[in-house]
Amino acid sequence: MRVVVSIGGSVLAPDLAPGRVRGHAAVIDELVAAGHEVAVVVGGGGVARDYIGTARELGASEYDLDVLGIAVTRLNARLLVAALRSEASPEPAVEHAEARASLRRGEVAVMGGTVPGHTTDAVAALLGESVESDLVVFATSVPGVFSADPKRDDTAERFDRLSAAELVDIIASIELSAGSNAPVDLLAAKVLQRSGLRAIVLDGTDPERIGAAVEDDGSVEGTEVVPDA
Ligand code: UTP
C-alpha cells in the first residue's frame, strides 16, 4: 500500500523526548519492512504555537508567522529523519515534487510544511493526491472527528465513518466557532473530497495505532473518511 502519514507536532515531539520520536520512526520502519511505500508529513505542534505567539506579540505579519511555523515543522521532520532506520533523504523535502521523487527512489519521503496559508494537514492531503496514495493517516492528538468538541460537550460522539462531503461540512462548521480546534483543516478535507482519497483520523500518540490503521487489522478506533458515493 502507498500511504501518507501526517504526524502532528504535538504527537511526535511535544517535549522533544527521543523515545517518542524513536517509537514513531520504528512504526514507519515496520511499515516499510512490510512492503508499504510511506511518506510522512510532520507538524509543528506546541513548539510552533509558542514561536508564533511570541512573534505575533512582536508584531510579525501573519505571513511571517506561517513561515516561522513551517520552519518548526521542518525541525520536527529532521528529528524523525534522525530516528529512521529506513532509507530517507537527510533533508526533509520542501515541496511535494521533491517528496514524490524521494518516494519514487524507494525512500521514506519526509517533509514538513510547504508555503504559508494552510497547515501540514493540507500538505499531507496534497501529497496523497500527488502520489495517488491508497490511504492518508492523520495521526492527531484526538481520537477522530466528533459531532461536537468532546472537551466541552459530554454528548459529543465520534463518527466511525464519514463521506468526504460530510467531513467538509463538519470541519467548516467547527472552523466557524470561536476557539475551536478542528482535527484536520478545511483545505485538507476539500482535497480529500476532490481526489476521492481514503483517510483515517486517529489518536496517534501511541504510534502502534498508525501501524494498525495501515495494516487494517480492525483494532483501530478513529474516523474513516471514504470517497463520496
Ligand atoms: P501545523 O501543521 O503543525 O499546524 O503547522 P497545527 O494546526 O498547529 O497542527 P498540530 O497542532 O501540529 O496538529 C504549524 C503552523 O505552521 C504554518 C501555519 O502557521 C501552522 O499553523 N504552516 C504549516 C504553514 O503556513 N504552511 C504549511 O504548509 C504548514
Q: How far is the CA of 121 from the centre of ligand 1 (A)?
A: 8
The ligand 1 atom at the shortest distance from the C-alpha of residue 69 is 16
Q: Which three cell numbers stand for residue 118?
A: 494552510
pLDDT value for 178: 63
Q: What is the pLDDT of residues 131-177, one digit of tens each?
A: 999 999 999 999 999 988 887 888 889 999 999 999 999 999 888 77
DSSP state of 92: P
pLDDT value for 179: 63
Phi, psi of 39 (to 5 degrees): -120, 140
User: Measuring from atom 8 of ligand 1, which residue has the nearest CA?
Assistant: 45
Q: How far is the CA of 73 from the centre of ligand 1 (A)?
A: 7
Taking the C-alpha atoms of residue 228 and residue 197, their distance in angstroms, rounded to an integer, is: 10
Phi, psi of 36 (to 5 degrees): -85, 150
Pocket of ligand 1 (CB under 6 A): 8-10, 43-45, 48-49, 65-66, 69-70, 73, 113-120, 123, 140
% of the chain at pLDDT higher than 90: 87
Q: What is the pLDDT of residues 107-141, one digit of tens each?
A: 999 999 999 999 999 999 999 999 999 999 999 99
Taking the C-alpha atoms of residue 6 and residue 80, their distance in angstroms, rounded to an integer, is: 12
Q: Provide mean pLDDT across the span 11-15.
A: 96
pTM, two decimals, is 0.96
pLDDT value for 177: 72
Dihedral angle sign, alpha carbons of residues 212, 214, 98, 89? positive
Best mutation site among 7, 10, 42, 120 for ligand 1, i.e. most ligand atoms within 8 A of its Cβ? 120
User: Measuring from atom 27 of ligand 1, which residue has the nearest CA?
Assistant: 113
Q: What is the pLDDT of residues 70-117, one digit of tens each?
A: 999 999 999 999 999 999 988 999 999 999 999 999 999 999 999 999
* CA distance to 66, 138, 162, 168, 189, per residue, from 227 (Å): 30, 16, 9, 12, 11
| Cα angle, residue 210 at apex, residues 21 and 97 outer, rounded to 5° | 80
Look at residue 128 and give its three-state secondary structure. Answer: helix
User: Measuring from atom 24 of ligand 1, which residue has the nearest CA?
Assistant: 116
Q: How far is the CA of 217 from the centre of ligand 1 (A)?
A: 30
The ligand 1 atom at the shortest distance from the C-alpha of residue 52 is 19
**Half-sphere exposure of 203 toward its Cβ, with a 13 Å CA cutoff?**
9
Asked if residue 180 has pLDDT above 90, the reply is no
* 49, burial (CB in 10 Å: exposed 0-12, middle 13-18, buried 19+): middle
Specify the higher pLDDT residue, 153 or 206: 206
User: Measuring from atom 20 of ligand 1, which residue has the nearest CA?
Assistant: 119
Residue with cell 523535502: 93
Q: Beta strand pairing status for 199-203 and 222-226? A: antiparallel
Directed axis angle between helix 208-215 and helix 18-33, to 10°? 20
Q: Do 11 and 137 form a contact (C-beta atoms < 8 A)?
A: no
Residue 216 structural domain: 2-226
Q: How far is the CA of 113 from the centre of ligand 1 (A)?
A: 7
Number of independent structural domains in the chain: 1
The ligand 1 atom at the shortest distance from the C-alpha of residue 46 is 11
* 64, burial (CB in 10 Å: exposed 0-12, middle 13-18, buried 19+): middle
% of the chain at pLDDT higher than 70: 99
Domain at 198, CATH number: 3.40.1160.10
Taking the C-alpha atoms of residue 105 and residue 84, their distance in angstroms, rounded to an integer, is: 16
Dihedral angle sign, alpha carbons of residues 109, 228, 115, 173? negative
